[in-house]
Every structure is written in structure tokens, then in C-alpha cells.
Amino acid sequence: MDHWYHGLQTRRTRFNHPIEQNPGQRSKPIESLLLEDLSLLIDLHKDGERQGPGGDDETRLAIALSGLGARSQLQVADIGCGTGASTLVLAKALDARITAVDVLPEFLQRLDAAARREKFGARIKTQVASMEALPFAAQSLDAVWSEGAVYNMGFASGIRAWRRFLKPGGILAVSELTWLTQQRPQALEAHWKAQYPEVGTAAEKMALLERSGFSPVGYFVLPPRCWLENYYRPLQARFADFLSRNQNLPAAAAIVAAEEQEVALFERYREYFGYGYYVAKRAGD
Ligand SMILES: C[S@@+](CC[C@H](N)C(=O)[O-])C[C@H]1O[C@@H](n2cnc3c(N)ncnc32)[C@H](O)[C@@H]1O
């Protein structure tokens, strides 16, 4: 899981996750970040192709599982799209109009520029909005896509809230932090239980999908390359410039230190956790 917001766990507030002392508490909204931390995080991440683990091939695999490729004139939303890596793949692969939603306009400006460059300006529309108050009509979408972002409102709340925007039979495709084994080292378990209490196994997530009115149609795990080559290494390559243009501010150094800790956590424990990619169909209508 990208956890650039976890970077703030040693500070007074964090990007989006529950405050340490209250592990069961609901996620904090992005608005609760210290302004200094938020602008630094934007500064660090806006030049990234991705703001979390993922890969173009993996987005294409999810599209293949969804069966959407055979259909035309689709209406799709990409929620928490960041600078839009998945949005661009969706635009290339599908006959679709895509509304790309994020709460940070700085990320959407990058996507607007890329969409213009790649001649998708007419099919990709960006929209600043909260994933908790999406601007779509009920049953208006053929697919809701969201890579590495649903945790911001929590998997259970997110999938239930977004279901109403899907047409009957519409597709939900989300990637989500997932335990890959039944047994985990205690330190790792404690870390994720505090950071994201909804972390669970694929079987638990599938059951939740079924209980929430979806029929799972596919599941796979993002390979380590999606974390290391596609996300962490490019992020680490930006640290030196980030620190220098921010005069090595303590807040900037704290963000870099926390990102490095997150990378180390993944490198050490990657056989136990990862991102599961869940593709499901709206059912039960
Ligand atoms: C881990 S990043 C993933 C970005 C992108 N999907 C990717 O995989 O590169 C999470 C994204 O969710 C966005 N976000 C956080 N809280 C949000 C909210 N309440 N509503 C909409 N977007 C939000 C962040 O700005 C960020 O772009």
C-alpha cells in the first residue's frame, strides 16, 4: 500500500489513517493533515507517475478480468486516481469516457496535461471531489475503478457507498492492502492493525464483497515489481531534490525518514502482505 501518509505517523496528525492511540478509530480525512505536511507530501508525490504500488500490465489484467473490453461507450470513474497512471491505461484499453476523481487538484493537473499530450482530452475528465461525496447519479456508471485509494474511507464503507453508482452488472475494480498468509510476524501484524485495522485476507475481502452486493469475478496479487520498480525506487530517487528544495526542513526530513521505513517494511515482510486486486460485478438487483 502506498503509504506516503503513513509518513506522518510520528507527527501530530497523519494523512488518512487512524491516530495511533486509537487504533480502532475511523480514518482521518485528508483535511486533518497539517498544512505544512500536506504541501510537502504533494511536493514529493506530484512528480511521480504513481502515488502507490501498481503497474500498467496489472491494470490491463484487471480490465481483461472485467470483460469490459468487449463493450462500447462505457462510463467509468477512477477514484483517488492521483496523477492518473491507471486512468491513462483505462483510456487506451476501453471505449470509455472516464471521470478521474481525486481530492488533490495538483495531481489532477498532471493528469490533465498527460491526457492532452496523449490525445485523450475529450475522454478523460478530471474532477476534484471527495470519494465520500462523489458527484455521480445512481446507476450511471459501467465501472468504478480505484487503485490503492479505497482505504481512505475504508474498504467496507467504500465498496458499499460506490455500489449505488454502478448500473446493474457494473464492474468494481479496487486494489487493497491484503494479508497473503494466515500467520504473520507479530511486529508486522501490530503495525498494520494500528495503521489500517481493515487489513484482511483475500477470503475476508471476497466475503465482504459478497455481503455488500457484489459477485467477485477475479483476484490477483500485485507482484513486488509494482511496489519496488514502479513506486518505491522512483520515489527514493526524488528524495535528494525534495529535501534540497525544501531546505532540509525537519518536516521534510521526517517525511523522507518515514517513507524509508515503509520501504524497509515492505522489503522485509513482502511475503506476508501486498496489494490484492479485486474485480467484482454488481449483483443482487
Ligand atoms: C495511494 S494514492 C493512489 C493514487 C493512484 N490511484 C495510484 O495508484 O497511483 C491515494 C490517492 O487518494 C487520494 N485521496 C485521499 N483521500 C481522498 C478522498 N477523500 N477523496 C478522493 N481522493 C482521495 C490521494 O490524493 C491520492 O491521490
Q: Give the tens place of pLDDT for each residue, 109-140.
A: 999 999 999 999 999 999 999 999 999 999 99
Task: Tell which one of 90, 152, 262, 266 to mutate to probe ligand 1, the residue whose CB is within 8 A of the most ligand atoms.
Answer: 152
Please say if the pLDDT value at position 174 is more than 60: yes
Per-residue pLDDT at 225? 98
Q: Distance (Å, rounded) from C-alpha 184 to C-alpha 266?
A: 13
Give the global pTM: 0.91
Contact 72, 92 (CB under 8 A): no
Tens of pLDDT, residues 1-42: 345 453 333 333 333 333 333 333 344 566 667 778 999 999
What average pLDDT score do residues 256-269 get? Answer: 96
> How many CB atoms neighbour CB 254 within 10 A?
17
Tens of pLDDT, residues 49-66: 999 999 999 999 999 999
Task: Tell which one of 15, 102, 153, 231 to mutate to probe ligand 1, the residue whose CB is within 8 A of the most ligand atoms.
Answer: 102
From the CB of 103, is ligand 1 less than 6 Å away? Answer: yes
From the CB of 53, is ligand 1 less than 6 Å away? Answer: no
Per-residue pLDDT at 9? 34
Q: 239: closest CA among 45, 10, 7, 3?
A: 45
From the CB of 147, is ligand 1 less than 6 Å away? Answer: yes
Q: Where in the chain is the domain with CATH 3.40.50.150?
A: 56-224+273-282
Task: Tell which one of 33, 111, 131, 231 to mutate to probe ligand 1, the residue whose CB is within 8 A of the most ligand atoms.
Answer: 131
Per-residue pLDDT at 32? 61
> How many CB atoms neighbour CB 221 within 10 A?
16
Q: Tell me, in angstroms, the distance from the centre of ligand 1 to residue 34's CA.
A: 17
Q: Distance (Å, rounded) from C-alpha 155 to C-alpha 149?
A: 9
Regarding the domain with residue range 56-224+273-282, which homologous superfamily does it belong to in the CATH classification? Vaccinia Virus protein VP39 (3.40.50.150)
- What crossing angle do the helices spanning 233-245 and 35-45 adopt, rounded to 10°? 130
Tens of pLDDT, residues 222-236: 999 999 999 999 999
Per-residue pLDDT at 33? 72
Q: 59: closest CA among 121, 165, 148, 179?
A: 148
HSE-CB for 210 with a 13 A CA cutoff:
9
Q: What is the DSSP letter of 231?
A: I
Q: Tell me, in angstroms, the distance from the centre of ligand 1 to residue 190's CA.
A: 24
Tens of pLDDT, residues 73-119: 999 999 999 999 999 999 999 999 999 999 999 999 999 999 999 99
From the CB of 52, is ligand 1 less than 6 Å away? Answer: yes
Cell 453508482 maps to which residue?
Answer: 165
